[in-house]
């Protein structure tokens, strides 16, 4: 059992590492299949051992071994967080099919979060194809909340009005729209509540003019999924 949990943790860290690389490359217009990972400053390709999530960062001491510039800590944090998150989900989830659905949904949310974090925009392909995939996977549950669809549409129209005042980006509204249909009205309201509170607190301290909202919404989604799985447990 210990071996399985270790493998799940490692898979989580690899997914986290991939998401950071994918988000950074999306923001800087590099293809994800371009080449092996490289230093962001001097562009020297990293040795294979430095590509190992968490361990690679620690071996390098947080600095590029060629140009000695410091490596962003974002990757270390995301890898550790996502590894621990997968591990927690595996403790809480009762069946394998549900575990796969929840982890894939979380990975999609993390990829979008990191794209938004690095570039304040998201790939429409990832957003739409991912959403349709999860909608198809969850068709049975979607029928359960048919009754809430008028509320969902009203809420989305209100959010769309916010985008014209530049309070929200269009990508945020489309992301929320899909979450409404995948998870239902009330669960998505919880996500908005958690996401807005965290973004508000962050904004107070960071004093940035424009902040990426999807990372906070995805964080809300992770908390909600943990809560849902623990209540099924």
| Per-residue CA distances from 176 to 37, 41, 126, 198 (Å) | 32, 35, 14, 16
Residue 183 contacts Zn ion per CB under 5 A:
no
Q: Which listed range, 29-37, 38-46, 186-194, 209-217, lies at the site for Zn ion (CB under 5 A)?
A: 38-46
Residue 71 contacts Zn ion per CB under 5 A:
no
Residue 39 contacts Zn ion per CB under 5 A:
yes
Are 184 and 155 within 8 A, CB to CB? no
Binding-site member from 66, 119, 123, 196 for Zn ion (CB under 5 A): 66
Show the tokens assigned to 47. 């040795």
Residue 36 contacts Zn ion per CB under 5 A:
no
Are 78 and 16 within 8 A, CB to CB? yes
The pair phi, psi for residue 63, each rounded to 5°, is -130, 145
Residue 67 contacts Zn ion per CB under 5 A:
yes
Half-sphere exposure of 181 (CA within 13 A, CB side): 17
Show the tokens assigned to 57. 């960062």
Residue 41 contacts Zn ion per CB under 5 A:
yes
Residue 154 contacts Zn ion per CB under 5 A:
no
Binding-site member from 34, 36, 42, 132 for Zn ion (CB under 5 A): 42
Enumerate binding residues for Zn ion (CB under 5 A): 39, 41-42, 64, 66-67
């Amino acid at each position: 059992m210990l071996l399985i949990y270790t493998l799940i943790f490692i898979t989580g860290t690899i997914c986290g590492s991939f998401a950071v690389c994918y988000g950074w490359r999306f923001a800087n217009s590099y293809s994800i299949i371009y080449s092996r990972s490289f230093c962001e400053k001097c562009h020297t390709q990293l040795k294979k051992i430095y590509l190992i999530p968490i361990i690679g960062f620690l071996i390098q001491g947080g600095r590029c071994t060629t140009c000695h510039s410091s490596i962003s800590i974002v990757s270390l944090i995301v890898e550790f967080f996502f590894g621990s998150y997968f591990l927690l989900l595996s403790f809480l989830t009762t069946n394998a099919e549900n575990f796969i659905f929840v982890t894939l949904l979380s990975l999609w949310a993390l990829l979008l979060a990191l794209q938004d974090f690095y570039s304040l925009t998201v790939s429409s392909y990832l957003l739409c194809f991912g959403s349709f995939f999860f909608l198809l996977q969850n068709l049975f549950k979607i029928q359960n909340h048919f009754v809430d669809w008028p509320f969902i549409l009203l809420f989305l129209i209100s959010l769309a009005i916010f985008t014209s005042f530049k309070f929200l980006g269009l990508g945020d509204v489309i992301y929320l729209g899909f979450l409404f249909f995948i998870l239902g009205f009330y669960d998505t309201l919880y996500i908005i509540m958690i996401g807005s509170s965290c973004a508000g607190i962050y904004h107070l301290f960071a004093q940035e003019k424009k902040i990426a909202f999807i990372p906070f919404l995805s964080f809300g989604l992770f908390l909600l999924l943990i809560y849902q799985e623990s209540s099924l447990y």
